[in-house]
Amino acid sequence: MAQPTIWEQILDTANRANPYPYYEELRKTPVTRLPDGSYLVSTYAEIAALLHDPRVSSDITRNPAAAAAGAAATGEDGDGDGAGMTPTFLSMDPPDHDKFRRITMRHFGPPTTPGRVAGMEERMAEIVTDLVDDMADRGRIDVVDDLAYPLPVTVICELLGVPPGDEQRFRVWVDVALQSTDPGLDPETQQKKRVEAGKELRAFMQELVDTHRRAPGNDLLSAMATDDGPEGRMPDEQLVSTGLLLLIAGHETTVNLISNGALTLLRHPAELQRLRDDPGLAIPMVEELLRYEPPVHFIPFRTALDDIEIAGTTIPAGASLTLVLAAGNRDPAHVTDPGLFIPDRRNNQHLGFGGGVHLCFGAPLARLEAQIALTQFATRLENPRLVSDPPPYRPSPFLRGPSHLPIDIDGVLAPGQEN
């Protein structure tokens, strides 16, 4: 049998716990052509350049690899809005991208709605406090199920105006819609299940849009469903897709940031102690985590619209590109000692949130959630210890994080008590 390529090794679930040696290998050739004619880009400067290059398209319907994988039909792409729906601005190019992003951002952040994210800080702290309180007397907890998942899902539901309790309904559909491969099922059945789940999700979001339009509240969906703004209102189909994008992108990734963060801290006890002593460290630490253990490992399905000369290679017009963010983040040409976790680096510009016109829309929200969750994790849990290292991982190679992170603790301190 032929030796697996480096890329095949990266995709192999057996290497999910530590793909970094393979990324190091990959960076030796900054731009690699795969046998299927698509290209991988793995060094920081080249990824950053392509993220800002207007000759690189995010329109998934133009992408040959996406068509081959059946992803275009489901709208599946880098941030996971795989739900068989009208494309969102994530999968559009300017000028449409910019217009729909602006219409959405109008209700999410400055200058029109500066308080939406900042105004949730206290509520986030309250949610985390309750989640950590619930760990008292348990002995063993699961960081994923008990903290990293419930925080972002509760926050994004409250922000959008999704009623509490509905999470149980959409979680199942999201799991199915995002599943790219289930070895137990034939591809046709899988595709059918994904399309079905996509339909359920759309119907669920359309119902929410309708109810919020009839009786608007102080939430993002109500604002988007009723406000005509200077650029008009989004068509309903678009609004439904965007609502789902925010709902899904708004938590699938943040879960990984918090669980990767907790795992990294437990592997670096001195840094855990520093965070306990100085909670202000959480701000640069979360940036370092986005570099060192990013939740999104790569952006697939970009398309070259023209021949692009880069790092001595010509990527031909029409080729599919994958930007390997996690490899670029550890590029020694960009950052010194890239394999070390140094929370107070001041030069930790990273690719964790992508870059260019598609730079993550929800970054301010994700940062705040992770800062609050990891601070309470450090200051309130007594003597936290990993049960197994590495923990089990979710199968996805691009939205990478533990599926469970069991830890043992001796107890839980009240907020503000010394640890």
Give me the least distance between CB of 328 and ligand HEM, in Å please.
11
> Taking contact as CB under 6 A, which single stretch among the options 124-132, 167-175, 270-278, 294-302 is the one that binds ligand HEM?
294-302
String of contacts with ligand HEM for each residue 320-359, x by CB under 6 A: --------------------------------xxx---x-
* Six token digits for residue 198: 């996509």
Burial of 327 (0-12, 13-18, 19+ CB in 10 A): buried
Asked if residue 365 binds ligand HEM (CB under 6 A), the reply is: yes
* Residue nearer to ligand HEM on the CB measure, 62 or 412: 62
Among 78, 84, 161, 391, binds ligand HEM (CB under 6 A): 78
Q: Is 299 in the site for ligand HEM (CB under 6 A)?
A: yes
Q: What angle do CA 363, 128, 173 make, to 5 degrees?
A: 65
Q: Is 69 helix (H, G, I), strand (E, B) or coil?
A: helix
- Hey, which residues between 144 and 203 contact ligand HEM (CB under 6 A)? 156
**Which residue, 90 or 176, has its beta carbon nearer to ligand HEM?**
90
Q: Which of 208, 366, 374, 405 forms a contact with ligand HEM (CB under 6 A)?
A: 366
By the rule CB under 6 A, 373 interacts with ligand HEM: no
Q: Which residues 48-77 are close enough to bind ligand HEM by CB under 6 A?
A: 58
Q: Are 407 and 385 in contact (CB under 8 A)?
A: yes
Give strand pairing partners of 381: 412
* Encoded tokens for 358: 């598609």
Question: Interaction with ligand HEM in 242-281: which residues (CB under 6 A)?
Answer: 245-246, 249-250, 253-254, 257
Report the nearest approach of ligand HEM to the CB of residue 419 (Å). 25
Residue whose CB is less far from ligand HEM, 190 or 329: 329
Spatial distance between the Cα atoms of 158 and 220, rounded to a whole number of angstroms: 9
Residue in this structure with the two tokens 């680096």, named with its chain if needed: 345
* Residue selected from 44, 89, 170, 292 as contacting ligand HEM according to rule CB under 6 A: 89
Per-position DSSP letters for 215-227, written without gaps between them: S--SSHHHHHHH-
Nearest 5°: phi and psi at 257?
Answer: -60, -45
Cα–Cα distances (Å) from 134 to 20, 72, 131, 145, 411, in that order, read: 35, 42, 5, 12, 11
Per the structure block, which two tokens stand in for 309? 């000369």
| Amino acid of residue 353 | F
CA–CA distance, 328 with 332 (Å, rounded to integer): 9
Contact call for residue 397 and ligand HEM (CB under 6 A): no
Positions in the binding site for ligand HEM (CB under 6 A) = 58, 78-79, 89-90, 101, 156, 245-246, 249-250, 253-254, 257, 295-296, 299, 352-354, 358, 360-362, 365-366
